[in-house]
Amino acid sequence: MRDVSFGQYYPVKSPVHRMDARAKLIFVIAYIVLLFLIPTVDSSLKRGVSLGDYTVRVAAAYFAILLFMIIVVILSKVPFVKVLKSIKAVIFLVVMTAVIMLLFYSGQATHVYFESGIISISLEGIMSAVTMALRLFFLVIGPSLLTLTTTPVELTDGIERLLMPLSYIKVPVHDIAIIMSIALRLIPTLIEETDKITNAQKARCADFDSGNIFKRAKALIPVLVPLLISSFRRADELAYAMDSRCYRGAKGRTRMKVMKFGIRDLIGLFVIVAVFFVVLMFIYDYFGVATALYKVALGIL
């Protein structure tokens, strides 16, 4: 079976695993917001922050986030390799974005190395490419750590509870949650099935690996059609199975695992607030922390 790290639960017992799914969801949202609060090169330059200052501040901020993530990963007992594997799925996107940033940077630039037509490579461009790559990297790491430490059931439960207020305006929150959890549950099954069908077609001399991109896409049709048909059949049977296990939507349904916002989650809340504060302190140079750091760095160099 192909390796799909994104969205795969890693079953160990750890403080991070035991946290309330709702709390974890909120923390991940806060974490994403934090990543977007780190300004781009261009906007900092416009605010009158020098490139040197900016570099130090952003480096300090990302270092703080990195340190935080390393601690979380260690606490979660998920191997680092497993976490990094989630990057594999988006590595192309990260590289592409960085390259485009590098080549087409159009903001203020003082150190231009190369210029030809719309392409220009400058120190500012390099910086924005690096920060963008870092942002994307951390953007993927956070949510994938969430799915590695939270079972899909807990996750959908958490989303369901968090969105509960919406059910007052007739949003079918429970149905959305159950659809999500079944989709997650079927991913490995469908991957297995795709492999099986692919092999069956290969055994009948189907060729998936040669020709141009259109030819290859066309070669996938004999895989996708049976896959689609069998998915419908599966859905039908699953519906029967759910019906005969007394499913009737959210009506009168209780849960085996009751969520409790505990002391662990409170500590998590404090930590995330602290990280938020530290990062902003670096970025916006509160109390002159970043300036002091800059001087120290200069001193060492």
Partner 1 sequence: MSFIRLENVSYTYSKGAQNEVRAVKDLSLDIEEGDLVALVGHNGSGKSTVAKLMNGLLVPTSGKVTVDGMDTANKNLLFDIRKNVGVVFQNPDNQMVATIIEDDVAFGPENLGLDPKEIRRRVDWALKSVGMYEYREGAPFRLSGGQKQRIAIAGVLALKPRAMILDESTSMLDPVGKKEIMDIVLKLNREEKITVIMITHFMDEAALADKIFVMDDGDLRLSGGKEILLSPVLEQMGLNAPPAVSIAKKLRAAGMDIGEVFTPEQLAEEICRSL
Q: Which of 205, 248, 260, 263: binder of partner 1 (CB under 8 A)?
A: 248
Contact between 224 and partner 1 by CB under 8 A: the answer reads no
Q: Output the CA angle 138-185-11, nearest 5 degrees.
A: 60
- Nearer to partner 1 by Cβ, of 97 and 151: the residue is 151
Q: Which of 85, 234, 280, 289: binder of partner 1 (CB under 8 A)?
A: 234
Distance in Å, CB of 20 to partner 1, minimum: 15
Q: Which of 114, 247, 277, 286: binder of partner 1 (CB under 8 A)?
A: 247
Contact between 11 and partner 1 by CB under 8 A: the answer reads yes
Q: Which of 116, 210, 212, 244: binder of partner 1 (CB under 8 A)?
A: 244
Q: What share of the chain is helix, strand, coil (3-state, %, to 5)?
A: 70, 5, 25
CA distances from 267 to 26, 42, 159, 261, 263 (A): 14, 36, 21, 11, 6
**Residue type for position 64:** A
Q: Which of 184, 275, 278, 283: binder of partner 1 (CB under 8 A)?
A: 184
Contact between 273 and partner 1 by CB under 8 A: the answer reads no
Encoded tokens for 252 = 């009168």
Q: Which of 118, 169, 205, 246: binder of partner 1 (CB under 8 A)?
A: 246
Q: Which of 185, 215, 218, 295: binder of partner 1 (CB under 8 A)?
A: 185
Backbone angles phi and psi of 258, in degrees to 5: -85, 135
- Only one of the segments 78-86, 148-156, 268-276, 289-297 lies at the binding site for partner 1 (rule: CB under 8 A); that segment is 148-156
* Residue in this structure with the two tokens 């079972």, named with its chain if needed: 151
Long-range contacts formed by 171-175: CB under 8 A, 24+ apart: 173/250, 174/249, 174/250, 174/253, 175/249, 175/250
- Nearer to partner 1 by Cβ, of 12 and 95: the residue is 12
Q: Which of 189, 224, 270, 296: binder of partner 1 (CB under 8 A)?
A: 189
List, in order, residues 6 or more apart from 75 with CB less than 8 Å away.
Answer: 14, 15, 16
- Only one of the segments 48-56, 180-188, 263-271, 282-290 lies at the binding site for partner 1 (rule: CB under 8 A); that segment is 180-188
Q: Which of 63, 80, 113, 240: binder of partner 1 (CB under 8 A)?
A: 240
Contact between 298 and partner 1 by CB under 8 A: the answer reads no
Contact between 113 and partner 1 by CB under 8 A: the answer reads no
Q: Using an 8 Å Cβ cutoff, are 141 and 86 in contact?
A: yes
- Nearer to partner 1 by Cβ, of 211 and 249: the residue is 249
Distance in Å, CB of 53 to partner 1, minimum: 48
Contact between 232 and partner 1 by CB under 8 A: the answer reads no
The bridge status of strand 112-116 relative to strand 119-122 is: antiparallel
Distance of alpha carbon 256 from its chain centroid, rounded? Answer: 28
Q: Which of 258, 263, 300, 301: binder of partner 1 (CB under 8 A)?
A: 258
End-to-end CA distance of the chain: 50
Nearest Cα neighbor of 140 from 180, 67, 97, 91 is 91
Binding site for partner 1 (CB under 8 A): 9, 11, 151-153, 181-182, 184-185, 188-189, 192, 234, 237-238, 240-248, 252-258
